Structure 1
Amino acid sequence: MTPARFRKATQHDAPGLLQFLARHEALSMFPMNNLLGHGLRTESFLFQSGTQITGYLGLTADHNLMPQAPDADWSLVRPWLADRAIAGLIGPPEQCKALQHALGLDDAPLRMHAIEPGFSLDLADLRLPPVDGFRITPLSADLAVAIQWRAAALVETMGFAPQDAPLIAHDQVQRWQAEGRHRLLWQGNRPVSLAGFNAQTTQTVQIGGVYTPPALRNLGHARRAVSMILAEAQQTGIKRAVLFAANDAAARAYLAIGFRPSHSFALILFTEPQKVAA
């Protein structure tokens, strides 16, 4: 058997990496989105056996690791990341745990450690709830509300400090507006929910950024927002959708519009970036 190699990826590797990641699409939407949108601007590594790509590891600009390597020897990674600062790990739970251990970061203090259930949907099976009196618009219809809601979501679901969230939310929403993949849901003249896509390939989208203010919850707004943006995306040729749910209420909303359980996803975020020892 050819020994496995771990090396930096080059632009020449991009087509093969995309083919590999597509075989694990539901758990690879973030790296696929980055590769399709920016090439290898995200720092990328690969596992290789002979000429065959057997795994991927991305290191984002905000210092998060994104593994997709089901049979990896993670001990090969540490020399490449020695003295690098790592803010977190995002991806398949077993891989994130094994990589965290291989990097000597088991005891690093955590801001967030969640394993969230993932769901998938063939858009041919999308079920629209009643939407009379509702509409969706780009974020530009009320950018201030979108920023305020995103800041609240960062505190509630991602563990950010309240004093840090507004600036982070401002930058994120500005990027969302430029990408054009998020929408506000309105009931009459009142915005009631927010939803969008945080990753996209040629035929698949990943739902992200869903938020409904506490006073407007349990009224079906999140499922309306998600189903309406998916119906809109379906008209552009999108065939599938994936997501992961932060809580049971969110999971119930997604099941109600046709999503089915399919995978799980880990978010391991450190309180501050951790330096990998040599």
Structure 2
Amino acid sequence: MTWVLSDDVTAFPGDAEDWLLRDPVRNTVPLTVLRGLRSGVFGDGILCGWFVEDDEIAGAMLHTPPYPLLLGAVPVGALGSLARELIALDRAIPGISAPLEVADAFTRVWWRPETFRRSERLYRLTTLAPHGTPGFSRTATAADRDHLVSWFRAFQTEAHVDRDADPTPLVSARTNREELVYWYDGGSPVSMAAFSQPIAGMSRIGPVYTPPELRGRGYGSAVTHAATAAAQAAGASEVLLFTDLSNPTSNSIYQKLGYVPVGDYASVSFA
């Protein structure tokens, strides 16, 4: 049993991607980040890896600084050796994002203490339910970039995620792929949501952001509905989203739209 690590995303083998694609729902984040890596969104300093057991790939990881280490449904028994490999490389790991049991297991073997945890739940859509919020949706364009970047930064700060990351390259790439949706009311944008172009029929909604002064009016529900419909129109048969378990309002909103729980995840920050 061994991990193979590389700083060249072109070395990421097809078998490792196939392993991720066996469960595109639980591996949703690594799959979408892998696509971003191949399109050059995340810049320098990347690290990718795959776990080999009995001559077969049985796990994969991605790290794109300054974002956390990403692990999908990796065997828990593989995490001790991964931690040792990363320590040997003197790799700075600011945190981990993974299914809960994987995040907990890695946190136990990592040498730096946990300083913050965001508990999350992954949901998948059953049947999209209607909403009654006034307004209309619009796909964002390149002309909206500065405004979108400001809302992405606000989301990162409020949600305690990726706070050291500049969202500009990501916003530009997602705008080019027509993945960002506004909800309008009264002639102005009042909420924003993103969706990922489908991979193996899977698309994920997020982030979803409404400025604090505009909350409580149904805009988050409306823009999530619009982004979900856009994902389905793009060919998604599975539409997913993550919620912050500390926010009961968002969890309730998404369930009313037709989303049901799949499993729990965690984003953990290290000292």
Counterpart in the other structure of 1:270: 270
CA distance in 2, matches of 1:31, 1:217: 31
Report if aligned partners of 2:135, 2:183 keep a CA contact under 8 Å in 1: no
After alignment, is 113-122 or 173-182 more displaced? Answer: 173-182
Matched AA of 1:81: L
Aligned equivalents of 2:203 and 2:212: distance in 1?
A: 26
**Superimposed CA distance per residue, residues 12-64 of structure 1 (whole angstroms, 9 cap, x where no aligned partner):** 65322222112332231121123345459852212222222211122223252
Distance in structure 2 (CA, Å) of the matches to 1:198 and 1:133? 23
Aligned residue type for 1:55: G
Give the RMSD, CA atoms, in angstroms. 2.7
Structure 2 stretches of 5 or more lacking a match? 41-45
Match of 2:32 in 1: 33
Matched, 1:216 2:214: yes
Whether 1:5 and 2:2 are equivalent positions in the alignment is yes
Q: Could you tell me how far apart the structure 2 residues matched to 1:266 and 1:200 are? A: 23
Structure-2 residue corresponding to 1:126:
128
Give the letter aligned to residue 31 of structure 2. Answer: M
* Count of residue pairs the alignment pairs up: 259
**Are the equivalent residues in 1 in contact too, given 2:96–2:267 (CA < 8 A)?**
yes
Does the C-alpha gap of structure 1 residues 192 and 264 become closer, same or farther in structure 2, counting only changes over 3 Å? same
Question: Structure 2 counterpart of 1:76, which letter?
Answer: S
Q: Which has the larger radius of gyration?
A: 1
- Secondary structure of 1:168's match? coil
Q: Unaligned regions of 5+ residues in structure 1, if any? A: 272-278
80-89 or 56-65, larger mean C-alpha shift: 56-65
Cα offsets for 1:168-209 (capped at 9, x unmatched):
344543343234311111114111100002575141111112
Please name the residue that 2:53 is paired with. 49
Query: Which residue does the alignment assign to 2:18?
Result: 19
Encode CA deviations 1:216-265: one digit per residue, 9 max, x unaligned: 21211111111112212222211111111122111111111110011111
Contact 1:14 1:40 in 2 (8 A): no
Residue 180 of structure 2 is matched in structure 1 by 182
TM-score, structure 2 as length reference: 0.83
Secondary structure of 2:57's partner?
strand
Contact 2:141–2:176 (8 Å) recurs in 1: no
Question: Which residue pairs with 2:154 in the alignment?
Answer: 152
Per the normalisation by structure 1, the TM-score is 0.81
Structure 1 pair 194–255 and aligned structure 2 pair: CA distance change class (3 A): same
Pair 1:202–1:159, CA change in 2 (3 A): closer
Paired AA for residue 75 in structure 2: P
Change (3 A) 1:48 1:238: same
